[in-house]
């Protein structure tokens, strides 16, 4: 069973989103002691909602491809929970947890893609 072009497009986009999120979190950690700094975040997972719904609803391949082409990781200001601006050091623990989670997610994605590549190689070469 071949991997669809939409799946390959989303795999590539997800890897780019993980890389972008890593840079954004590093930026947040570097500025955690800046008075009034507003942390950034990557908007990617939220954009997948309509695509997930289309897949669950068994929409046409064309509709799914159209929705997939609209998904693009983007950087935005993180919504403030208590105030518009942070105080120095306020979000360091949260950012370190996010960094660790993103690293684990990225490694898991690479592992899955590596195993999929191995299965494809096995199917083609027989060894």
pLDDT in tens, 27-85: 999 998 888 888 899 999 898 999 889 989 988 888 988 999 999 999 999 876 545 55
Query: By three-state DSSP, how is residue 101 classified?
Result: helix
* Per-residue pLDDT band at 89 (split at 50, 70, 90): low
Q: 17, 75 in Cβ contact below 8 A?
A: no
CA dist 110 → 53, 88, 127 (Å): 25, 35, 22
Model pTM?
Answer: 0.77
The first and second tokens of residue 43, run together, are: 């908007």
Q: Which has more confidence, 126 or 100? A: 100
Looking at residue 117, its pLDDT comes to 83
């Amino acid at each position: 069973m071949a991997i669809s072009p939409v799946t390959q497009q989303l795999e590539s986009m997800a890897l780019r989103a993980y890389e972008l999120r890593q840079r954004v979190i590093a930026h947040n950690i570097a500025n955690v002691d800046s008075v009034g700094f507003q942390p950034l975040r990557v908007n990617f997972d939220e954009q997948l909602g309509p695509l997930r719904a289309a897949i669950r609803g068994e929409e046409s391949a064309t509709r799914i491809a159209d929705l997939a082409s609209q998904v693009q990781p983007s950087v935005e200001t993180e919504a403030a929970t208590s105030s518009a601006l942070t105080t120095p050091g306020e979000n360091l623990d949260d950012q370190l947890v996010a960094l660790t989670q993103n690293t684990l997610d990225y490694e898991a994605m690479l592992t899955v893609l590596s195993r999929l590549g191995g299965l494809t190689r096995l199917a083609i070469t027989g060894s």
